[in-house]
Amino acid sequence: MALSSLSRGWARSVTILSLPAQTVTIQKATIVSAKHLEKNPDALPPFAWYKDVFSWPRSWVSNTTRRFNDNTRLIIVEGNVASGITEFSKELASELGMVHIPYPDLDWEYTNHYGVDRRPYLNQLPEHNPMRPYDISNFLQDPTHKNAINLQLKLYRYKYFLYCDALTHLLNTGQGAVIERSPYSDWIFAEAMYKFGYISKAALSYYYDVKKNTIYDLLRPHLCIYLDTPVDVIQKKIKERNNPGEANSPVLSEEYLKFLEQSYKYGFLKEIGGHAEMLVYDWSEGGDTEIIVEDIERIDFDKWFTPADQYEPQLHDWKRMKEVEWGKLRYQFTSKREDMDDNFVIPKFDCPELFCLHYDALDYEAARDSIPGELFAPGFNPSEGDNVWFKTRPDLIHYTMLAVPHIVKQPQNVIMGGEDQNYRGFRF
């Protein structure tokens, strides 16, 4: 397995490590496998951020960094379509004792709080209605549909708030996270849509407006792992897994997959390499997760936190020296998500495919109100067994806590340890 180690000199040089893993000299290991992680006896217990309310006064005395340890890191895993990043991400998270943050599932969009599938009701809307369901399987078969840009915006928003969940979990517990595809690489897929004529130039411009208005609230990752899989291998995997809509899709052509590959290698990796540490692997035949853990253990993250390097761009987002700054950041991600969600709303009047006209909105409201559990806000529907006594307002923040049902089921989760299987994401 050939490993490319890319750091702050990414744009200038690439170092290829082909020697056996045990011959590399370790300066300081700042990420270790779960079995070697030493517990700090003075560390504060993890805060159950998705169950308890974290108030503004509490942020003043939060002692956020007293929960941190060697593995308080964010790792993103990137790769082309069908590169095997889901299985690898889960294995890596388990090996490092971190939580795994999944790729967005649009079933979240079309399944309400009570488990009702909204699609049979919303599919009754006219074809031209922008609120009619349109997911990845629809895109793979009909990529030129006007709702393609809405699909890409939904995926970006989901990746964004999944990344927020990872940050929130890290700041409240000290436990790191391994994330499948981040919002930082999402532009690659938007560019591919525009390149092949699936969205208009105005739609792409709006996408970048939204991205610029939201992405800077996040902290970039400590480490990016890229699984480099040749296009011919990807096409073979797509054929073998035989997912609905993929096999005969007009989208997943050799040209489309090559464009994604080139955008990753010559666009995204150069961009993220200016901040995060980089590991790039030839994933033609897969790889050994344990060997990759050994490679990660050899990365010295602490070298960027010396006084001499405090103004270097590498890992700059994490160089917050004052405890009060960490407390403010923790409060923002834990309790002020609705303010971050507002940043996604940007007026745009030169992109017709984004318009929802009044009669389309009325049709959607009528269809929505016919769905069980959607007449009122989640938690306020007596017809679904909700107890509404002494409730004065819905907790809006749960709408952005997308990864919580996934996190609570993981045995390595330091808050619940996989016990709360039926948690529904509310904090009433």
Q: What is the per-residue pLDDT across 67-109, written as a single tens digit (0 to 9) for each?
A: 999 899 999 999 999 999 999 999 999 999 999 999 998 888 8
Mean pLDDT over each residue of the chain, to the nearest integer: 85
What's the pLDDT at 8? 32
Average pLDDT of the segment spanning 274-302? 93
Q: Would 422 be classed as within a structural domain?
A: no
Query: 158-200 pLDDT, tens per residue?
Result: 999 999 999 999 999 999 999 999 999 999 999 999 999 999 9
Q: Would 383 be classed as within a structural domain?
A: yes
159 vs 265: CA distance, rounded Å: 20
Residue with the larger pLDDT of the pair 329 and 23: 329
**Rg over CA atoms, the chain:** 22
In this structure, what CATH number is given to the domain that contains residue 165? 3.40.50.300
315 pLDDT above the threshold of 50:
yes
**Structural domain for 148, as ranges:** 3-19+41-407
Query: 200 vs 142, 351, 415, 419, CA distance in Å?
Result: 15, 8, 45, 47
Share of the chain above pLDDT 70, in %: 88
What's the pLDDT at 26? 28
Average pLDDT of the segment spanning 284-312? 87
What's the pLDDT at 52? 83
**Beta partners for 228?**
282
Residue 401 buriedness (CB in 10 A; 0-12 / 13-18 / 19+): buried
φ/ψ bin of 250: left (φ > 0), alpha (ψ from -120 to 50), beta (otherwise): alpha
Q: Would 352 be classed as within a structural domain?
A: yes
SS3 104: coil
Q: Would 362 be classed as within a structural domain?
A: yes
What's the pLDDT at 307? 74
Query: 192-239 pLDDT, tens per residue?
Result: 999 999 999 999 999 999 999 999 999 999 999 999 999 999 999 999
Model pTM score = 0.88
Q: What is the DSSP code string of 6-55?
A: E-TTTTT--EEE-S-GGGSPPS---S--GGGPPP-TTPPPPP-TTTS---
Average pLDDT of the segment spanning 303-311? 78
Q: Would 426 be classed as within a structural domain?
A: no
What's the pLDDT at 208? 97
The type of residue at 53 is V
Average pLDDT of the segment spanning 246-256? 91
Share of the chain above pLDDT 90, in %: 56
φ/ψ bin of 343: left (φ > 0), alpha (ψ from -120 to 50), beta (otherwise): alpha
- In the chain, the number of structural domains is 1
Question: If pLDDT is split at 50, 70 and 90, which confidence band does 416 have?
Answer: low
Average pLDDT of the segment spanning 235-251? 87
Question: If pLDDT is split at 50, 70 and 90, which confidence band does 396 have?
Answer: low
Tell me the two tokens of residue 223: 């480490």
Q: How many CA atoms lie within 13 A of 390 on its CB side?
A: 1
What's the pLDDT at 398? 64
419 pLDDT above the threshold of 80:
no
228 vs 52: CA distance, rounded Å: 41
Q: Would 7 be classed as within a structural domain?
A: yes
Q: Would 67 be classed as within a structural domain?
A: yes
What's the pLDDT at 422? 43
Tell me the two tokens of residue 299: 């990365």
